[in-house]
Structure 1
Amino acid sequence: MLRVIGCNTAYGSGGIGQHVAHMIEESRASGVLHQYLLPEGKPDDPLVHPVQTPTWVSYAAACPPIRWMPGWRSHLYNEAYDRALARAVPDDGTAYMGFVGRSLRSFHAARSKGYDRLELIAANSHVDNVARLHERAAQQTGIRDTWLNAAQQRKTCAEYATADRIYVHSEYVRQSFLDAGIAAEKLIRTHLKPAERFQPPVQRPADDVFRLVYVGRLDATKGIPLLVEAFTTWNHPAAELTLVGGWGTPAMRRYMQGVLADNHRITVAPGDPLPTLQQADVFVHPSYEDGFGYAPVEALACGVPVIATADTGMAEYLTDGVNGYVVPTGSVSAIVERLDALARRPLADTRTLFPAPEPTLGSAAR
């Protein structure tokens, strides 16, 4: 097998970048990596073939009304990059691996060049499930900032049908595909893990402050309004909430500006999350949907208990009362209840180790 991997995210950058880096390195270790197509690869790697997003996309995405429509903006970037990938697919590969929402045209290009295997990485649960949960987020929070639109949803479903194999990285994602009628034999379970640098600190702060942390995009689909409401409802006198991330829509900007003006115990701190995680007492992941959730898994690796919703892939790594709690999606009261429980009775030895999984991406001998 000669595998070519394509994605519109730089190697190791953010959740998708970490995911694609994992797939690249596992393919390399298995001896099947032929080439990978990214905006930026691993430094000094001879197997990377840089593919840039067309320059016109940034100008188009900045123009009204697309600039105010995150779903169309995301689809524009993904579609333009998929076209660029299709032009860059090499002639001498045998298997093409791409990410959902940005692979249909490159799939067609690979098939036309004689590739005998098309592989799709499902970064989220089945797209119909994502659409349902993002709509629930909009209804419950009053903020509509989903990255998914109907065109992207149709394209993703076409990718599911075209792919020979679909790689899923949590039982939550796998079950969503089975529920949608995708055959079990088409699904391959992979396992992800946090980077080695995420380790517990030598010493945690010795003061009386109870530190809550969230890391990731600040938007409604990630449940940020629920977390803010839970924090203010709980009203613990010595608690602080740090949000490590940024917002991408005017509606979320206005919402967060109001939150920060009204509550000095809530702060936004973009940048490297590791120092903040190593001071945290609890990590809260209130997302309406996440196929995996690198940030809460990184918190577990740092020995921080995690409160996460049931609609996240990382929930399978939580054992209630041991290293955190799984709460119903969309429930403010459940988050408050678990915050109160952790403040009253901190969990002991919550660090979760993630052993290296057995390779699942094939070998050159196959």
Structure 2
Amino acid sequence: MMERTGGIIAGHAVLNSNSRQMALAFANAGLLAEFHTSLDTTQLAKYMPTASLRASMARRSLPEPVHRVTKTHGWPEIRRLFRRRFPFLESPSVFGPDTTLHAIDAAMGKRVDERTTAVYAYEDGAARSFAAAAEHDVPRIYDLPIGYWRLGEVLLNEEAEAEPAWASTISMTTVRNHAERMSRKDLELSLASEIVVASSFTARSLNLYPGSAPRVTVVPYGAPPPVRTRVKRDPSRIRALYVGSLTQRKGISYLFSAVRASGRRVELTVVGRQVGANAAVDSALRAENVNWIPSLAHGAILDLMSNHDVLIFPSLFEGFGLVLMEALSRGLPVISTAHTGAPDIISDGVEGWIVPVRSASAISEKLDLLLQDSRRVDDMSDAAFSRAHDLSWSNHRAKLIEVARRNIR
């Protein structure tokens, strides 16, 4: 039984970059009492016999200051992973994708008492812990990693009508228990004392929230340590890169249309998995100047960025887009929309461009500018690499600590 101590209770089902950095920030500041997650392989990773197994286990490991106060809830996640591997053995109604989130949320709620200084929880995993915190008058910090759902439905329903051939890749309103899940999101927002978002776009999306939203603070994510290993380029062509799932939520039809319009002098590498059978996606991936890589390790993606001239990220509805930070850290300019974190981290025309959503012509225009002026590629690359130095994870952690200290009682 974990002894109860005063401090922040935080949790996240999956150990992604932003949740790790949140936990590390609070642990290093002496503010973190408990961190709840599904699996923690910190110790197990040390005993793996091969480098590949150690790397695999490291994805679920934690920094030592966080590991010391971590409480795991592995069974729901093991069941979820087992069902994903063998879907025919278990009904999705028994263990759906939210089961792990809700189990951790419930466990956090049971740990809240008068000594808790704040609860930090994420979308879809905050309702029960926030309710418990509210009973004890404990501040509730809500991390919203993607745009508010009501705006998402508007944009994606419009998109399904505008691009029907790509509509099957959009699944926002077709998940099970949709109304129940959306109601839970609004309940979490109503219980929050402060909302943390990674982009100004996410902050603006909350204008559609029908209730009275608390303070919203934009805390952009951080970039990996900058590394400059760019491969000498061929000035007669542009090597464009896209990294992300192959869903129309990320504007992929406009990506492929732009590359097609710019001609064979633009070569596109696509890294990402398909989200189901779709003839339009299949056809786009078969184009002569498109190279599709379904999956690639994170380190290999960073290396691949050094071999390209521009990242294209034309998302319609995004919370931030960590791939933007990763690109800058490798000196890779970006073409992205204002519906991502791009306006918060780049200056239009300096480290890349911000283009309108749903505009293949705007993307193609920027690619043509790069084709016409080889020096512009190098200048933007230098600017991107320089900008990455100002966007460290340490800055992200410092801003989260400011938010926490403003809220803790």
Residues 142-181 of structure 1: per-residue CA shift (max 9 Å, x gap): 3342345433222111111011111122222222224546
Distance 1:88 1:181, change over 3 A: closer
- For structure 2, the 5+ residue unaligned runs are 1-5, 41-60
- For structure 1, the 5+ residue unaligned runs are 11-16
Structure 2 distance, partners of 1:361, 1:151, is 30
1:315 paired with 2:338, answer no
Residues 323-345 of structure 1: per-residue CA shift (max 9 Å, x gap): 11111111111111111112222
Residue matched to 2:138: 116
Identity of aligned residues (%): 22
Structure 2 distance, partners of 1:28, 1:329, is 39
Q: CA deviation at 1:27?
A: 1.6
Query: Does the 8 A contact of 2:240 with 2:312 survive in 1?
Result: yes
Distance 1:8 1:258, change over 3 A: same
Distance 1:135 1:326, change over 3 A: same
SS of alignment partner, residue 199 of structure 1: coil
Distance 1:293 1:255, change over 3 A: same
Residue matched to 1:105: 128
How do residues 168-317 of structure 1 correspond to structure 2 at under 5 angstroms? 168-178=197-207, 180=209, 186-196=215-225, 198-201=226-229, 203-208=230-235, 209-235=237-263, 237-247=264-274, 249-252=275-278, 254-263=279-288, 265-271=290-296, 272=298, 273-317=301-345
Residue matched to 1:129: 151
Residue matched to 1:85: 105
Residue matched to 2:193: 164
Residue matched to 1:13: none
Structure 1 distance, partners of 2:213, 2:330, is 34
Structure 1 distance, partners of 2:282, 2:269, is 14
Structure 2 distance, partners of 1:278, 1:294, is 16
Letter in 1 for 2:356: P
Q: CA deviation at 1:295?
A: 0.2
Structure 2 distance, partners of 1:255, 1:63, is 28
Q: Max radius of gyration: which structure?
A: 2
Residue in structure 1 matching 2:12, options 4, 7, 10: 7
Distance 1:227 1:151, change over 3 A: farther
SS of alignment partner, residue 42 of structure 1: coil
Q: CA deviation at 1:298?
A: 1.5
1:150 paired with 2:198, answer no
Q: CA deviation at 1:183?
A: 5.2
Bigger shift: residues 214-223 or 140-149:
140-149
Structure 2 distance, partners of 1:95, 1:18, is 21
Residue matched to 1:361: 403
Distance 1:22 1:33, change over 3 A: same
Query: Does the 8 A contact of 2:9 with 2:108 survive in 1?
Result: no
Query: Does the 8 A contact of 2:143 with 2:197 survive in 1?
Result: yes
